[in-house]
Amino acid sequence: DTENPAWRALGPSQQEQAGFEERHLRYISLLGKGNFGSVELCCYDPLGDNTGELVAVKKLQPSKQSSMDDFKKEVKTLSVLHSEYIVKYKGVCYSMGRLSMSLVMEYLPYGSLIGYLENNRHKVNTRRMLLFASQICKGMEYLQSLRFVHRDLAARNILVASESLVKIGDFGLTKIIPCNKEYYRVTQPGESPIFWYAPESITESRFSHESDVWSFGVVLHELFSYCDINSNPKRLFMQEIGHNMQTPSISLHLANILKNNWRLPAPPDCPPKVYGMMKECWQYNFTERPCFSLLGNQIEVIMQDERDNFKG
Ligand SMILES: C=CCCn1cc(-c2nc(Nc3ccc(C4CCNCC4)cc3)nc3[nH]ccc23)cn1
């Protein structure tokens, strides 16, 4: 896949340059855990005098070789991404004599969007949510400009850098679309976040910028639901699926209700124009979905309306 000419167009990544020495990387705490491995807060203190800097270190869970290959591609991907709306790559740390490697990134102090919204509901009004949505949109527009499909856009993968800045924080499933195609076909679905998947991704494993737009619609839903556990997309879909058992597997049930035009309901107090945008992202036919630049403009317009209304 990295022989894919689309990679060559990106030029040499800085992967080879930045090296962090494991002996200077001091473990502080666990920041996150997933089916990928874990992310730890460390202090990189080469002078040994506690003047070091805080970094987030993503370690692969020691498992089969294929995940090491995937991890190397994830590192290579992040190392070529330069956007204020994407978590910064700092370098790699080899250990066990280059047998194992860790990804070193900037530490974002407020953690994932899910935890932040749950704990700061009072601080986050419609305008703040729209600001976060427009930043995620800009990050995705940048990703798309380099022919990357994210494939796992979800609030759990968005990090909060400050009270007014969020960044896309994980690229574990990101793939680059080959130059001669407009989509990426996945062979081994693995741990699939199907409740964030577009219909064509569920039924044909087809991933594209348009399927990322579908997932962005689900992120909008999470945002405007304050990532409330009771309106989590998986819970809402399972409630709907639970009532009509006619196909064997969950993903077939899910594809079925989407085909029958069932969609996640509007979150409580969600502005009608925002829910309208979600529904646009959830057009069954991927050619009818808006692109990220159009979505970005629509969000700016709604933000302006909110400012005008706010002034009364
Ligand atoms: C992207 C999601 C999947 C994997 N992942 C990435 C990270 C991550 N986290 C942080 N900061 C952070 C700051 C505070 C807290 C706390 C913990 C205790 N409870 C309250 C919240 C948690 C995380 N900075 C980062 N930079 C690069 C990655 C990264 C975490 N998980």
Higher pLDDT, 312 or 176: 176
User: Considering 1, 69, 70, 152, which one is annotated as catalytic?
Assistant: 152
Residue-wise pLDDT tens digits, 78-123: 999 999 999 999 999 998 777 789 999 999 999 999 999 999 999 9
Q: What confidence score (pLDDT) does residue 35 get?
A: 74
Q: Which residues are within 8 A (CB) of 223 and not within 5 positions of it... i.e. 6 or more apart? A: 113, 117, 129, 132, 133, 155
Sheet of 53-60: strand order equals 25-34, 37-44, 53-60, 100-106, 89-95
Percent of the chain whose pLDDT exceeds 90 = 79
Q: What confidence score (pLDDT) does residue 18 get?
A: 65
Mean pLDDT of 151-179: 96
**283 Cα to the center of ligand 1, angstroms:** 32
Mean pLDDT of 290-308: 95
pLDDT band at 243; cut points 50, 70, 90: low
Ligand 1 atom, smallest distance to 169 CA: 1
**Average per-residue pLDDT in the chain?**
92
Where does the chain show beta strands of DSSP type E? Answer: 25-34, 37-44, 53-60, 89-95, 100-106, 148-149, 158-162, 165-168, 175-176, 184-185, 206-207
**115 Cα to the center of ligand 1, angstroms:** 10
Mean pLDDT of 224-233: 95
Mean pLDDT of 206-211: 98
pLDDT band at 6; cut points 50, 70, 90: confident
State the residue for tokens 């009771």: 230
167 backbone dihedrals φ, ψ, rounded to 5°: -135, 150
